[in-house]
Structure 1
């Protein structure tokens, strides 16, 4: 990695964030120094318990517990304990529909919907499928499951019927909650019709609850119920069930590529403890904040930073259903100004999308309320960091890049907002309660600045406990590469100041003539070029060098591709990384295949490059037309 990136000046917190930090710097240092077990036990006591915890960690990776014997209810901590008159949700849909929900209204709806589930035969431990987009019903249904101890499983609203069926067959839910449809960039996405196809042959499903948000007259079958009719008729409020700290709370599936999706099982209470801490440090979210998490409910970022961790702090949330750049790319700015958003949690892709739309759109709107932008999801290039801080935030905000995984249940690397600095492009440092090491292939520990395999050396409460129905697979995937540690399968390094840099998946690290190079540094070198809006780099096999990089570049508006530009971009990589990294080819395209959450699907680029066709799971692909666009560009 470019040494200049690793030695760029640290950026300190803004004065406002320092003044509102949850603890003082000396206290933060004390917490960081605590053994993880002691830290989590101390942190957990900030929440409301039925039976308070007296022990922290017991056991080891693959078979561990936290707070054994203690019990609480997640929904009580997320809903009941907050001021009922305070606004919990400002909901917006891309067509302009909006709703406002107070904590009192949300608590009442979740308690009554929990009673509806009980009336349909759902008891503690039963699975409930959640096939919803970013709607108030998602908050109601998930918190209702927490209230009665049902194990919910979120299914991403962008999946195909085949992908939905895989997840239903594995989880075997008794009830599925869905919307009739959702909107996405002006198109109606028929969720109910997809579910009708997907549930064929899944015998566990005894009832489907449909929230009719697009077509109030959508036809329902004999075992199907209208969400709002059930809720309106229900007068009983379900009592919160005491859940032991290690009992399962939900199942979330990783996307399948060439194998069956993994149903990761998270403890309900452990997840709450971890996400509560994550939001405390990575956002310093307070009851006075108006906060917008732009993620989709189908990805774990949304439960971490909104549905569970966010609600646990009692802030007012903005939630948005649809494409945030619809009907225009100025929509995010309009929402920030309308609600006075103080803190934003998003992904680097979303910021690059805003940047591509031009700086003129930013100055049209009053964004002065914004104090913090936190990020997760993929490597963040330093130029996007500086644009976010300098243009979007007018030099007055703090940009906090973080790192985490579905498996870890939190973005565990981050700045402690208001307390610790950041370095543009890095992911912050391990938060209290986490112990990270970068390991080499032989098992040794990497030196500062040395690229290797990212691992975590001690368990924590929000780590996924198993793969649903297949614990042997869990141990093989996560615990076999470096015995005694959790292997993230991500390539990373830790710089001289302890800041984490994640360069991509292990298979995104290419070996070029004996040199290990991460895709992040190559992409960062490209994005600094004035003509580049987005870039993705993948490796291509090479008989002499082993592999060579191939760069795919989306130009900024008004820029036309040419051989001269391709040479310039190739030279930009050489200047930024070194001659060893010169790409075998630079491919200029108007679009790239991406997921609905905005991530570029680099594995599809590799498929097209090597085989001329894509393979594996395409259910999360947002823009299928991009496949032919890239294929045509490769043939030129």
Structure 2
């Protein structure tokens, strides 16, 4: 793939990278010429920013004064200027692979315009927020782009009813779009029922949502509920849903009543495009705001260069559309480049463990984007499952979400790619997009490394005191300058944005991640340095998990920590101090796990629960999670424990984690 790379050598990469940092106006103007601008002032300030809270409010502005529309640029522009109307934008595969659908750019534009007109008919206006709680279907993209077309701001919702309600209220959403139900492998997900519960919570908290539009994905039977009436049935089964006539609108009915075209709303460069929620160390999810022009430029260039996209390439991703990676690399990035995306409902292992490889051959996939967690799961099915298919079309194998361990990297390189595909590890965050990555066909690959900084991003490694370290170094990963795709704020709380990302090291964007840099300038991620955990690539808050556990009447205190897991990379172990009269039983474990699942979602469910009489704490009452992590691996080299309030808790702690005291789930027979 090297001879076909847009950037064919390290020398060329370094030259372009240097230009992006030292002359951003010239570099990004060249990229911007690919797109349509309704207004491009000749006297604009191209980029302005402040990362130092001591000098005033944190602010980032790109192309201030320009006007564009992201939907127009990823659909109309390609159809009108490039003649791509008949090109397939999405190949969609159902959960069981029994249904498939191919949607062209022209099809997509028609449906986007229709849904935009549906929203306008409901008086959804520029700047209004729209919540999305749907299964993985092309209709999700229709909603996203329809919002972009009329200037509404789309926001993906949480896993549970409470999380969904929290986000609807926090983002001040006026409309909810959901699906009647869906299957993930053989498990039914009652999306409409969860949405109903979330809207009930919103109503109790006096937040008004004007309507709930329901896509009849499974065509479930609708049981009419008259106004003011309630139905006792929960309808968590796969046959029927409650239908509230004063709230619910059927997608198909609404789409059939509107016209096929909607004029785009011309948006200012810094107008919000979408809000995505990520876990915060306070336990309250943060609504990260991305804006129109900067995100468009950055998603375009990230997709084009990280994966060496060539005209006509087919991209398949297993990434959740509700992640920034899903927004960037499954929707906006490929569409901005005129690409084709394979969209998978369900999991990569269902209906059979060779699903990915079969679809790679069937749809001539060129780029496969997944997570190390999924790679490790695929490894358990054996090499023959892979070798049964030619995979001849593949040229790039990429991962996101967490660092890829060396064994998984070698398996991808040797078995999946047969030593002829580029292996790309992309590092990014909800707040940033991809910032450090390999460039397929250009930068030399190093197992375990996220690669080199992407254009415009200037990383640095700091020691604990905030001093920049030169050359090979280990420390806190920060960024010194803004790139177009960096988030601008937290919805409704700019002070929290400043406190979270810019207060720890003044003048820098702080990632919360530790990193190592080698002599060649490659970066390796070493894990979170704040109170968040990463499980299967998802960022989860320890505070949120602990609050859910302590909410159970049997639990007095709780501490959540990360533990290694062969498939997920990391999983959650929880240490609990039980209230008087309670012991750790199988029933109690089920209740605690169910509570976490209901409050936060399945990814946060603990893999192990330890019952202890006391948690290790500092003299100021802060839980010493590093001690818990040491105990789980029976590592007695605890370092400085002088800050610990009561060292006598250590003997019991190690006795429980090593099995001397049987007070831990999973229970040993």
Query: What is the TM-score when the length of structure 2 is the normalising length?
Result: 0.76
The range that moved more, 373-382 or 624-633, is: 624-633
Is 1:287–1:316's contact at 8 Å kept on the other side of the alignment? no
Distance 1:509 1:260 in 2: 12
Is 2:136–2:344's contact at 8 Å kept on the other side of the alignment? yes
Distance 1:27 1:448 in 2: 21
1:424 to 2:447 alignment: yes
Q: How many residues align?
A: 539
Q: CA deviation at 1:366?
A: 2.0
1:311 to 2:335 alignment: yes
1:208 to 2:223 alignment: no
Structure 1 residue aligned with 2:665: 632
Q: CA offsets per residue over residues 325-351 of structure 1, 9 Å max, x none?
A: 112211111111110101011111111
Distance 1:336 1:53 in 2: 45
Secondary structure in 1 matching 2:126: coil
Secondary structure in 2 matching 1:605: strand
Structure 2 residue aligned with 1:301: 325
Structure 1 residue aligned with 2:109: 107
Structure 1 residue aligned with 2:176: 176
The 5 A counterparts of 1:370-385 are 370-385=394-409
Structure 2 residue aligned with 1:9: none
1:166 to 2:154 alignment: no
Distance 2:41 2:575 in 1: 50
Q: CA deviation at 1:233?
A: 2.3
The 5 A counterparts of 1:326-475 are 326-408=350-432, 410-475=433-498
Is 2:574–2:606's contact at 8 Å kept on the other side of the alignment? no
Is 1:211–1:226's contact at 8 Å kept on the other side of the alignment? yes
Q: CA deviation at 1:552?
A: 4.7
Structure 1 residue aligned with 2:283: 259
Q: In structure 2, do the counterparts of structure 1 residues 295 and 607 end up closer, same or farther at CA, with 3 Å as the change threshold?
A: farther
Secondary structure in 2 matching 1:309: helix
Q: In structure 2, do the counterparts of structure 1 residues 322 and 256 end up closer, same or farther at CA, with 3 Å as the change threshold?
A: farther
Larger radius of gyration: 2
Distance 1:46 1:258 in 2: 41
Secondary structure in 1 matching 2:427: coil
Question: Which of 29, 32, 39 is the aligned partner of 1:41?
Answer: 29
Q: CA deviation at 1:75?
A: 0.7
Is 2:502–2:510's contact at 8 Å kept on the other side of the alignment? yes
Is 1:40–1:433's contact at 8 Å kept on the other side of the alignment? no
Q: CA deviation at 1:116?
A: 0.8
The 5 A counterparts of 1:276-295 are 276-295=300-319
Distance 2:399 2:279 in 1: 21
Structure 2 residue aligned with 1:194: 194
Q: CA deviation at 1:478?
A: 0.4
State the Cα RMSD in Å.
2.8
Q: In structure 2, do the counterparts of structure 1 residues 239 and 519 end up closer, same or farther at CA, with 3 Å as the change threshold?
A: closer
Query: What is the TM-score when the length of structure 1 is the normalising length?
Result: 0.80
Structure 2 residue aligned with 1:149: 151
Is 2:278–2:286's contact at 8 Å kept on the other side of the alignment? yes
Distance 1:461 1:279 in 2: 14
Is 1:289–1:341's contact at 8 Å kept on the other side of the alignment? yes
Distance 1:71 1:42 in 2: 17
Is 2:563–2:573's contact at 8 Å kept on the other side of the alignment? no
Secondary structure in 1 matching 2:135: coil
The 5 A counterparts of 1:476-487 are 476-487=499-510
The range that moved more, 29-38 or 83-92, is: 29-38
Question: Which of 602, 605, 610 is the aligned partner of 1:621?
Answer: 602
Provide structure 1 residue ranges, at least 5 long, that are not aligned to the other structure: 1-15, 511-517, 521-548, 555-591, 593-597
Distance 2:404 2:168 in 1: 34
Secondary structure in 2 matching 1:412: strand
Structure 1 residue aligned with 2:573: 605
Secondary structure in 2 matching 1:424: coil
Secondary structure in 2 matching 1:199: helix
Question: Which of 186, 199, 222 is the aligned partner of 1:218?
Answer: 222
Is 1:135–1:321's contact at 8 Å kept on the other side of the alignment? yes
Q: CA deviation at 1:553?
A: 5.3
Secondary structure in 1 matching 2:3: helix
Distance 1:363 1:29 in 2: 37
Q: CA offsets per residue over residues 590-635 of structure 1, 9 Å max, x none?
A: xx7xxxxx5633xx22547999887996423248584479943476
1:65 to 2:73 alignment: no
Q: CA deviation at 1:418?
A: 2.0
Q: CA deviation at 1:446?
A: 2.2
Is 1:45–1:52's contact at 8 Å kept on the other side of the alignment? no
Question: Which of 127, 130, 138 is the aligned partner of 1:128?
Answer: 130
Is 1:438–1:446's contact at 8 Å kept on the other side of the alignment? yes
The 5 A counterparts of 1:8-23 are 16-21=1-6
Structure 1 residue aligned with 2:622: none
Q: In structure 2, do the counterparts of structure 1 residues 195 and 519 end up closer, same or farther at CA, with 3 Å as the change threshold?
A: closer
Distance 2:103 2:474 in 1: 47
Structure 1 residue aligned with 2:529: 506
Q: In structure 2, do the counterparts of structure 1 residues 393 and 459 end up closer, same or farther at CA, with 3 Å as the change threshold?
A: same
Is 1:281–1:417's contact at 8 Å kept on the other side of the alignment? yes
Is 2:281–2:532's contact at 8 Å kept on the other side of the alignment? no
Secondary structure in 2 matching 1:369: coil
Distance 1:125 1:171 in 2: 11
Distance 2:377 2:368 in 1: 15
